[in-house]
Amino acid sequence: MRDFLSLKILDRLRPALERLGCDYPVLRKIVQIKLTMDARRVPTVMMNNSRRNRQENVERNTFVRSLWLYGVMGIALLPFVLTSENYLFQMSIAFAILMFLVTTSMISDFSSVLLDVRDRAIVSTKPVTSKTVSLARTVHIFIYLSLLTATLAGPGLIGGLLRHGIGFFLLFLMLVVLADVFVLVVTALLYLLILNVFDGERLKDIINYVQIVLSITIILGYQVIGRSFAVFKLHIVFHAAWWQVLVPPFWFGSVFTWLPGGHAVGSAPGAEIVVLTALAIVVPCAMFALYIRLMPAFERRLEKLSTDTARNRKGSHVVLEWIAKLICRTDEERTLFQFSSWMMARERDFKLKVYPSLGLSIAFPFIFMLNPAMESSFHSLASSKWYLAIYMTALMIPTVVSMLKYSGKYKAAWIYQVTPISDLGSVYRGVLKAFLVRLLLPVYILESIVFTAIFGFSVIPHLLAAGLAILIYAVVCYWAMDKDLPFSKPFEVVQQGKRYLVLVLMLVIALLAIVHLLFTLIPFGIYIYIVILLVANVIIWALGFNTQRSATSG
């Protein structure tokens, strides 16, 4: 076990931590154990980097290795830090971005740490005070949060130092720490509230949704931030106002107005600024005190989380059965369809990895249309052929399809070996259909509604054609990937090598869109295209899977 650098820094905080009432040597040991385990774990969120380390002794924290990504994101803060038009405005925006990114990654990356129920059985049963356990947990999260914030705010901090000098830099640094404390505490208190009202399952669902929102926002955010320089050209006159009391980033932004040249207007700081600044300092400190007090309650809630029994679910079975009968031909296929549908909807690990991709599927078509929409008027967009952007919905299909063979409970796949499955083709068909119906169809319907709203009813045949083309595309994707039994491999072995394949498959989408475009040039071409696609679908779904029967052994 290594002695981590962060532990050495922690040693300096020993007196402060002991004053909060913890047993420092034990706390240090707990944190050290946690850091060691993290170094060996492949975190869920970093699935893109998760290549299994064959040599067991290589201990590198994958989180630390993926930090550079946050550094890149942090560049988004630069335009706001570098200008000196209006400190209140620019730094409030900078803090809004910073706090948003920190909060969302806090929820998506560190929820598992905050909600680790194993600690209850292993650590809390030992002669360790709950205060020490809670503080160890807090320190553990704070170490990561500091790393994350340091990289996120890094470009901004350096930019600020060079542009506005050391005073600005130190102020920025201090406020970033306060903002971190604020975010950590608010998240924990939010969880406490949710756990008080709902059960643990619901909390996990909420965490799931936040992860989806995070991935969509990052993609969309870059589209917007690229244009953010334009905002400054507008020469915004922006003053402190009372409503800003409700928006935490303004608290932090307001502090900068105290710097020389801070307020563009040139007057002395008004009452609003004084209050906002006071909030920036008082609220995080007060909330931290509250947090320390409420941590034991939090620990107790965790006990509830670990003992909660799941509620009975009912309802969708009938509909699902009906769909299964409608679209599956053999019993085996129907069985696999239903099984896969349940797994996709419920397996936590699977959802964590796949649902963010689906979120992107929703966002992609609109990102694609953003440019033409901004350059020309909305009307010219509506009469254009930009509805072909619907094909972007399919962009995530290769990624998702390649995930269908993974599961957190992959060991349960022995069931395939001991049951007499005669036709693997129907297994694959069932799984793929489940994906299309359960995951892709809702996304596509949602897109279609919005597209119809934008382009009018005349777009419906095009949406239909695109949908049919995407069905074929899904088969092609599945066909191009390694054929493995569904939910039968651990997530840790997700390979990197398939990246090029995913890229090639993404190009195929462009090809499909071009074919579609060509058909629109012929009168009634779209209807001809639909007929061709229908026939192609029938053939490909009937024959596309049979080839594998001999290729794979159960």
Q: Could you count the other beta carbons within 10 Å of the beta carbon of residue 261?
A: 10
Binding of another protein by 33 (CB under 8 A): yes
Binding of another protein by 125 (CB under 8 A): yes
Binding of another protein by 54 (CB under 8 A): no
Among 9, 72, 122, 278, binds another protein (CB under 8 A): 122
Backbone angles phi, psi at 450, to 5 degrees: -65, -40
Binding of another protein by 550 (CB under 8 A): no
Among 88, 99, 107, 123, binds another protein (CB under 8 A): 123
Q: 484 vs 46, 183, 413, CA distance in Å? A: 23, 42, 11
| Minimal distance, residue 414 CB to another protein, in Å | 16
| Minimal distance, residue 402 CB to another protein, in Å | 25
| Three-state SS at 406 | strand
Binding of another protein by 293 (CB under 8 A): no
| DSSP-assigned states of every residue in 467-490 | HHHHHHHHHHHHHHS----TT-B-
Nearer to another protein, 34 or 334 (CB): 34
Subset of 377-416 contacting another protein (CB under 8 A): none
| Minimal distance, residue 211 CB to another protein, in Å | 23
Helix axes 248-255, 271-307, angle to 10 degrees: 140
290: tokens are: 């509250």
Measured in whole angstroms, the distance separating CA 379 from the mean position of its chain's CA atoms is: 34
Residue count, binding to another protein (CB under 8 A): 27
Q: What CA–CA distance (Å, rounded) separates 191 from 206?
A: 10
Binding of another protein by 311 (CB under 8 A): no
Element (H, E) at 432: helix 424-434
Binding of another protein by 118 (CB under 8 A): yes
Binding of another protein by 310 (CB under 8 A): no
Residue type, 434: A
Backbone angles phi, psi at 383, to 5 degrees: -95, 5
112 burial via Cβ count (<10 Å: 0-12, 13-18, 19+): middle
| Minimal distance, residue 418 CB to another protein, in Å | 18
Binding of another protein by 304 (CB under 8 A): yes
The region of 113-121, 386-394, 462-470, 526-534 touching another protein under the rule CB under 8 A is 113-121
The region of 89-97, 122-130, 230-238, 255-263 touching another protein under the rule CB under 8 A is 122-130
Binding of another protein by 128 (CB under 8 A): yes
Q: 432 vs 255, 544, 545, CA distance in Å? A: 55, 12, 11
Question: Tokens 């988004």 map to which residue?
Answer: 76
Q: Could you count the other beta carbons within 10 Å of the beta carbon of residue 458?
A: 11
Among 126, 311, 314, 379, binds another protein (CB under 8 A): 126
| Minimal distance, residue 38 CB to another protein, in Å | 8
| Minimal distance, residue 121 CB to another protein, in Å | 4
Question: Contact positions toward another protein, by CB under 8 A?
Answer: 1, 25-26, 29-30, 33, 36-37, 40-41, 56, 118, 120-129, 296, 300, 303-304, 307
